[in-house]
Amino acid sequence: MNREKSATEANDIMLVRGSHGRGRARVTHAVVVIFLEFFAWGLLTTPMLTVLHKTFPQHTFLMNGLVQGVKGFLSFLSAPLIGALSDIWGRKSFLLMTVFFTCAPIPFMKISPWWYFALISVSGIFAVTFSVIFAYVADITEEHERSTAYGLVSATFAASLVTSPAIGDFLSAKYGDSLVVLVATVVAVVDIAFVFFVVPESLPDKMRLTSWGFPISWEQADPFASLRRVGKDSTVLLICVTVFLSYLPEAGQYSSFFLYLRQVIEFSPAAIAGFIAMVGILSIVAQTLFLSVLMRTIGNKNTVLMGLSFQLFQLAWYSFGSEPWMMWAAGTVAAMSSITFPAISALVSHSAAPDQQGVAQGMITGIRGLCNGLGPALYGFIFFVFHVELDPVSEGTTPNTEKLMVPGPPFLFGACAVLFALLVAVFIPDHHQLGDTKNSSTCKSTSSIAHAQNSSPLATSPSDAEDIEPLLQDSSL
């Protein structure tokens, strides 16, 4: 009987992982959900810049940084808990919840701008769609297929931003912002309906039922748990410092760069949409074609160093550039810098022992989540300190930001941070097993992971599900 029961459970697992049977969960479902959600937000790129300036005319950059900073920090705090709960109650319900609350602010852009920005901030509690999506993908793919599936999801995110800002700008110019908001709302509703009616559950019923009543420890829900393990291994410490110093300016840049292009560099809405499309397409090429070639020829560490060098050059160009052509040229460099994080993820994966993969990747993910909260607020504050504001500019006049010797002070700060990241990355060893350093905390974390796996065989660690994140994520959207 026990043999028959084990065979039945193994059958259920294979049905889900092989995408056959009643559930028929597929990576395609995850791709569609991500595309529709970020396509809806991409449509609002041009209207959002207008509403942001009208709502906060005095300190636009500062308020934008605070709004996006609060959202990012709340996402960092809530992601582990939502991930742990989805391991017990299934992915679909939490996927529906995250998509709904992430898209909920969209119609309020026209109803009430103040409520719109307030809801964006609060929605950070549930704005962890990628966390649930990656867990969903992990449920239905084998380990050797997972990185390819994650890459497909990330590429879909970039593809949604390639087209949607341009479409939104065209509709805004032709028919006004109200139609753009309406179309974005309809796309969001379609996404929610797709999750509710079409997307199947990725965890089989038996795996979820055996987890009911299983207590969620504070260790599972604590977003700072992985950060406390950073100092346990010197290589992990070097990698984490590199990630923090390089991703902090990246997170801040994505929260304010479109505002910067429109006011300081005087890009038109159409030019901004074209810029996003160009960087998105080049980033997809860099992450698929160039990354694989570089990893095979020069290795993981040298690829990380090359990516950081591109990022340093890009940020320095952004900070001193004052002409539109300079931004376009720097955008090509920015696309090449997008190889940095996947190269770091690969470096961690190759360095970590098999039983330390989740812990190592969790540390990296935790630091990136923290940067998503700190980066936008820091950039907004630096713009405020240097008096870079969105003052109304009439025709025939030039903005007063041209008086600054450095048009983009936050980008100069970011370049300095990446320079330090580059210096730290030089000392990362080429070959190192993170499992070589054995201590009580390692044993404790390994035993706790084993206990969680015994309680829920298909439960996927949130850190394992989040170990690869989209590189073009724009926290201002």
**Residue pair 437/233 in contact by the 8 Å Cβ criterion:** yes
Within 10 A of 29 (CB to CB), how many other CB atoms are there? 23
Residue 6 burial (10 A CB sphere; 0-12, 13-18, 19+): exposed
pLDDT tens sequence for the chain (477 residues): 444 444 444 444 444 444 333 457 888 998 999 999 989 988 988 788 788 878 887 777 778 778 878 887 887 787 777 777 777 788 888 899 989 988 999 999 888 888 988 888 888 888 778 778 877 887 887 766 766 677 677 777 777 877 788 888 888 888 888 999 999 999 999 999 999 999 998 876 545 544 445 555 666 667 777 667 666 667 778 888 898 899 889 888 877 787 788 777 878 878 888 888 888 888 888 877 887 788 788 888 898 899 999 999 999 998 888 888 988 999 888 888 888 877 777 777 666 554 454 455 556 666 777 787 788 888 878 887 887 664 444 444 444 444 457 778 889 999 999 999 999 999 988 765 554 444 434 343 333 333 333 333 333 343 343 343 333 333 333
**Residue pair 122/75 in contact by the 8 Å Cβ criterion:** no
Dist CA 138 CA 458 (whole Å): 9
Within 10 A of 5 (CB to CB), how many other CB atoms are there? 9
Helix, strand or coil for residue 469? Answer: coil
Is the C-alpha dihedral spanning 450, 453, 454, 457 positive or negative?
A: negative
The one-letter code for the residue type at 55 is T
Dist CA 236 CA 252 (whole Å): 24
Taking alpha carbons only, the member of 97, 85, 93 closest to residue 214 is: 85
Within 10 A of 295 (CB to CB), how many other CB atoms are there? 17
**Residue pair 165/276 in contact by the 8 Å Cβ criterion:** yes
